[in-house]
Amino acid sequence: MIDPVTLAVLKGRLEQIADEMDAVLFRSAFNPIIAEAHDASHGLYHADSGETLVQGKSGLPIFVGAMSFAVMAVIEKAGRDGDLVDGDVYIFNDPYDGGTHLSDFRLVRPLYRDGEVFCYLASVGHWHDVGGNVPGNYNPVATESFQEGMLIPPVKLFRGGELQQDVVDILQANSRLPGSLYGDLNGQINALELGIRRMNDLLDEYGDGLVSLALAELRNRAAKLMAANISDLPDGTYSAEDFLDNDGIRDEPLKIALDLTIKGDQMVLDFSRSSDACAGPVNIALSTAVASVYVATKHLFTEVPANAGVLEPIEVIIPDTSLLNVRAPKPVGGYTETILRIIDVLFCALADVAPERVNGCAYGTINALSLAGHRKNGSRWVMFSFFGGGHGGHPEGDGLNHGNAPISTATIPPAEILESAYPVMFTQWALRPDSGGAGRHRGGLGAIYEIELLEEQADVFLFGERGKYPPPGVVGGKPAALNRFTFQQDDGDHTPPMKSKMVGIKLRKGQRVHLETPGGGGYGHPLERQPEAVCRDVSLGFVSREQALSDYGVVVDETGIVDEAETEKCRKAARQ
């Protein structure tokens, strides 16, 4: 056994190592998606199973869940080849073998102690451009992964500490931005190098045996705590379903359905009723689906330590034919949209039996937007970014305005950074009134972004969601506003035929794109919201007087004061 104080100290030290690895990459990466938005992650993984031991707190949790599959892929390859040595580093982005999509490159390195692998350290980051049909790689009309970018299986970037320059040359040759790729790659290499040094220092100080015991105990405690949390919920099967707008190829909805069964201290998540694999790029691999379950579960049971023990009492069922379990070469570039829907259906399924744990659904799309072209000197530029929206109302209060997607702790790249790096100007960056779902606790507001092109021309694409199916509320809360995108052309404003996805948009200098993102779903019935809170929302511009009346039954006069008599009359009529 290990005493609680020592366990707490080692837990903190191990997490600090992963956090330092995050910081090294964030401070050295060349592209804003990593440097500013923190679309990356680091962790420590089991030497035999690849299971998550420790994750950094600043990166994307979805990566940490998927990376256990990636590390297992490296373990299996090294076992087949029989040539793993100290100083080896594997690199790959295969989305079907522990990956997510082709933009996310993984580096995996073994930590050797006394000639044996003690654990693996892993780094993953979203590279700016990795080839494919569109700059930035979120190709909304891809029908196979070859149209989304280069696919690299697990190969050795370092052999016994020696860099394989030919691998780097191949990677750079397949990117529109080879300099950005080179900088991000070296940032990840250095993050792993620091992690190796810090782990060796820790093991030298405390001993390999004690640290191994601590890691095993942390996993065991996470599993026991998760099982205990599940046992507190009533036995039964609870179902929910939601929809993706379309796959970018056929304008038909795709169902994400969950039947959640609780029996004692075990939970079964059955996604069998979800749609089959589709032609377009909203499919995901099994590893990605399981990783999204991990993230959703951590949202619901926040007190459980973040390691592989979280999933021990949980069984995930996904048929081989499902869009949640595809294999090559099915396109998976828009995986973010699908995993967000998995999180949403988990919240909705548990809303009636554990209302104290769930939130209204967040805005549900990263709105991957790319503007790309050539400068006057002929150099290539690619502005790829994602954008924020509202989070759902929750048991303790209103949802967060203009937050990032709940698959991550990433941030939204600031306008100043994007404007300094690319020939664009943000003519609007504001909260979107009336976008949050009504409820006892209102959903957070989405945002309005408007971007003007300053160069002569640019190609534009958008890969989004929630253009047809708004983020749901829970426990009686109302849904949020829909996603909305428009772009200027010589003959006026246009919207995508499929609402949330479009490629092939051409902009001329001075023309703009305009994006209005969803808010979050509401929590609790709107008529339970205090009139004073509704009045405050109106005074702040979050809610219009019209929505205050229609959704909340609150009458706010022109001077900004609640008409109590009329409000009581309206609410009484609404309750009948």
Per residue in 6-27, pLDDT (tens digit) is 999 999 999 999 999 999 999 9
Per the CB < 8 A criterion, the answer to whether 230 and 357 are in contact is no
The residues, any chain, with a CB within 8 Å of residue 137's CB and separated by 6 or more, are 101, 102, 103, 129, 130, 131, 148, 149, 333, 384
The per-residue pLDDT for 286 is 94
The per-residue pLDDT for 413 is 86
Element (H, E) at 429: strand 424-431
Hey, what's the torsion of the CAs at 334, 340, 341, 345, to 10 degrees? 160
Report the number of secondary-structure helices (H) and strands (E) in the chain.
12, 20
Per the CB < 8 A criterion, the answer to whether 338 and 282 are in contact is yes
The residues, any chain, with a CB within 8 Å of residue 576's CB and separated by 6 or more, are none
pLDDT average, residue stretch 417-440? 97
Quickly state the pLDDT bin for 576 (edges 50, 70, 90): confident
- pLDDT for 191-234, tens place per residue? 999 999 999 999 999 999 999 999 999 999 999 999 999 999 99
Per the CB < 8 A criterion, the answer to whether 344 and 244 are in contact is no
Quickly state the pLDDT bin for 63 (edges 50, 70, 90): confident
Enter the DSSP assignment of 562. B
Enter the DSSP assignment of 309. G
The per-residue pLDDT for 474 is 98
Per the CB < 8 A criterion, the answer to whether 463 and 133 are in contact is no
Per the CB < 8 A criterion, the answer to whether 525 and 440 are in contact is yes
Report the chain's C-alpha Rg in angstroms: 24
Check whether 287 has a pLDDT greater than 70. Answer: yes
Check whether 60 has a pLDDT greater than 80. Answer: no
The alpha carbon of residue 467 and the mean position of all alpha carbons in its chain are separated, in whole angstroms, by 18
Side-chain-side CA neighbours of 208 within 13 Å: the count stands at 10
Give residue 25's identity as a one-letter amino acid code. L
The per-residue pLDDT for 64 is 66
The full 3-state SS of 474-536, as one line of letters, equals ECCCCCCCCCEEEEEECCEEECCCCCCEEEEEEEECCCEEEEECCCCCCECCHHHCCHHHHHH
Helices (H), 244-396: 286-300, 335-350
Per the CB < 8 A criterion, the answer to whether 498 and 248 are in contact is yes
**What region does 287 belong to: left with phi over 0, alpha with psi -120 to 50, or beta?**
alpha
> Cis peptide before 329, with omega less than 30 degrees from 0?
yes
Least confident span in 84-98, 291-305, 359-373:
291-305
Check whether 296 has a pLDDT greater than 80. Answer: yes
Element (H, E) at 575: helix 564-575
Enter the DSSP assignment of 139. -
pLDDT average, residue stretch 161-171? 98
- The phi, psi pair for 41, rounded to 5°, reads -170, 160
- pLDDT for 238-269, tens place per residue? 999 999 999 999 999 999 999 999 999 999 99
212 three-class SS: helix
Least confident span in 63-77, 120-134, 310-324, 452-466:
63-77
- Count of CB atoms within 10 A of residue 157's CB? 24
Distance CA 274, CA 233 (A): 25
325 three-class SS: coil
- pLDDT for 331-345, tens place per residue? 999 999 999 999 999
Average per-residue pLDDT for the chain: 95
Check whether 410 has a pLDDT greater than 80. Answer: no
pLDDT average, residue stretch 109-125? 97
- pLDDT for 431-488, tens place per residue? 999 999 999 999 999 999 999 999 999 999 999 999 999 999 999 999 999 999 999 9
The per-residue pLDDT for 306 is 82
153 three-class SS: coil
Cα→Cα distances 11→6, 51, 63, 454, 503, Å? 8, 16, 20, 50, 46
Distance between start and end Cα atoms, the chain? 62
Check whether 65 has a pLDDT greater than 80. Answer: no
